[in-house]
């Protein structure tokens, strides 16, 4: 059977000036029956259109802080330098896949970028800007739960996982501040932070703040997320 091809956006190493990839993104997709394809960091309009035509779905991975200029703010001292090339690539691909109705999955930075591109804002640094926030930057190993999230009753993520609450890992210092109007919150952390979103107007648009690529080997809910995404790409 032909496998769905998933465009996976690359990570960027500023020090080495090199693209790279966490194997869990690719392995999680392959375990779900998909064929992942890491795309170049830069793509002009023609290249982006060809990526869209070639691929059945888009995975927006974790990594750099999203440029605050994309949501109308100046960078605060605690905001890490952005990667303009990655912001530009993912912005172009997101709009192509969204407008084309193809499935999209966002992880960590991915949920933040989707929220920004659809009109929301971010906390540039949770400890500095959200009083009472939980610690969201865990220590290894990363395939274990460090806090819970409550899933929205009757929501997309609850249907995918068959759960009302999940234990999740956590490695991020930014997060959703104002939710984009066209997005629905799918999960909240105990401190009130939105931890997952969907878009009811899109055939399959789901994004989570935690990292199923670290936990899919031991966690059924993480496998279910990758599996649901891959199945919608077929």
Burial class (CB in 10 A: 0-12, 13-18, 19+), 48: buried
Q: Check residue 1 and give its pLDDT.
A: 82
Select which of 195, 213, 232, 233 is catalytic.
Answer: 213
**C-alpha–C-alpha distance, residues 47 and 152, integer Å:** 38
186 in helix, strand or coil? strand
Q: Check residue 100 and give its pLDDT.
A: 98
Select which of 199, 211, 232, 233 is catalytic.
Answer: 211
The mean pLDDT of 15-34, rounded to a whole number, is 97
The mean pLDDT of 163-185, rounded to a whole number, is 98
**C-alpha–C-alpha distance, residues 225 and 162, integer Å:** 11
Is 45 part of the annotated catalytic residue set? no
Select which of 55, 79, 83, 108 is catalytic.
Answer: 108
CA 164 from centroid of its chain's CA atoms: 21
Is 211 part of the annotated catalytic residue set? yes
pLDDT in tens, 176-221: 999 999 999 999 999 999 999 999 999 999 999 999 999 999 999 9
> Whole domain around residue 154: which residue ranges?
5-232
Q: Tell me what percent of the residues of the chain surpass a pLDDT of 90.
A: 100
Tell me the CATH number at 27.
3.40.50.880
**C-alpha–C-alpha distance, residues 159 and 162, integer Å:** 5
| Number of alpha carbons in the 13 Å side-chain half-sphere of residue 136 | 27
58 in helix, strand or coil? strand
Q: How many domains does the chain have?
A: 1
Burial class (CB in 10 A: 0-12, 13-18, 19+), 144: middle
Looking at residue 69, the DSSP 8-state letter turns out to be: G
The mean pLDDT of 58-87, rounded to a whole number, is 97
Q: Check residue 34 and give its pLDDT.
A: 98
The mean pLDDT of 46-72, rounded to a whole number, is 98
């Amino acid at each position: 059977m032909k496998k769905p091809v998933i465009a996976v956006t690359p990570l960027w190493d500023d020090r080495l000036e090199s693209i790279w990839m966490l194997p869990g993104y690719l392995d999680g997709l392959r375990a779900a029956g998909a064929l992942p394809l890491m795309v170049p960091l830069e793509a002009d309009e023609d290249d982006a259109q060809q990526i869209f035509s070639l691929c059945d779905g888009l995975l927006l991975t974790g990594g750099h802080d999203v440029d605050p200029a994309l949501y109308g703010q100046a960078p605060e001292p605690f905001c890490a330098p952005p990667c303009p090339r990655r912001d530009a690539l993912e912005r172009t691909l997101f709009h192509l896949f969204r407008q084309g109705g193809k499935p999209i999955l966002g992880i960590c930075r991915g949920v933040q970028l989707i929220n920004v591109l659809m009109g929301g804002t971010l906390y540039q640094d949770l400890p500095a800007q959200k009083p009472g926030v939980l610690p969201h930057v865990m220590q290894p190993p990363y395939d274990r739960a460090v806090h819970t999230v409550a899933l929205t009753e009757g929501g997309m993520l609850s249907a995918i996982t068959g759960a009302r609450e999940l234990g999740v890992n956590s490695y991020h210092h930014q997060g959703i501040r104002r939710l984009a109007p066209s997005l629905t919150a799918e999960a909240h952390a105990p401190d009130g932070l939105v931890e997952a979103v969907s878009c009811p107007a899109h055939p399959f648009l789901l994004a989570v703040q935690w990292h199923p690529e670290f936990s899919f080997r031991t966690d059924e809910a993480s496998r279910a997320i990758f599996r649901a995404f891959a199945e919608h790409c077929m």
